[in-house]
Amino acid sequence: MSSESMLNFTYIVLSIGLLIFIVTCIRFNVLLRKGKYRKGSKKDELRRHFEAKSYIPIASIVGLGLVFVIQYMARSSVINDLNMIIFIVIAITLFFIMLFILPEQLVILYCKYRFKSFNFNKQGYLNKRV
């Protein structure tokens, strides 16, 4: 692989990452404005459902998908080192997952600084609403 093709690959991955971040921010903003994250909403029920369940079936499906992607890349790539291909796929996947989660985490951080009721007191309880 030439350095030019690696640079093009990097630009494409970063562009897709930027697109994922922007779309996720817009989606999260729309959902917040519609009140989808309020207590008792469908999002709240879905979040409670997933917090109570195990992620093993989902992780198995994602892992199997990654294995197929890595096998395809190993067969059609110029890179012969399977460990390097696994590292590249896992790194890019984690990059995209973090960009998908980042907008929600930024809103939570904003709320922790803006509202006292998002923080815990010394006894470990949430502060009262002010």
- pLDDT per residue as tens digits for the range 20-56: 999 989 988 888 888 777 777 787 777 777 666 666 7
Distance in angstroms (rounded) separating the CA atoms of residues 24 and 68: 26
DSSP annotation of 91 reads H
Torsional class of 88: left (φ above 0), alpha (ψ -120 to 50), beta (otherwise): alpha
17-26 residue pLDDT tens: 899 999 989 9
Q: pTM of the full predicted structure?
A: 0.66
Q: What residues are paired with 83 via a beta bridge?
A: none
Q: How far apart are the first and last CA of the chain?
A: 59
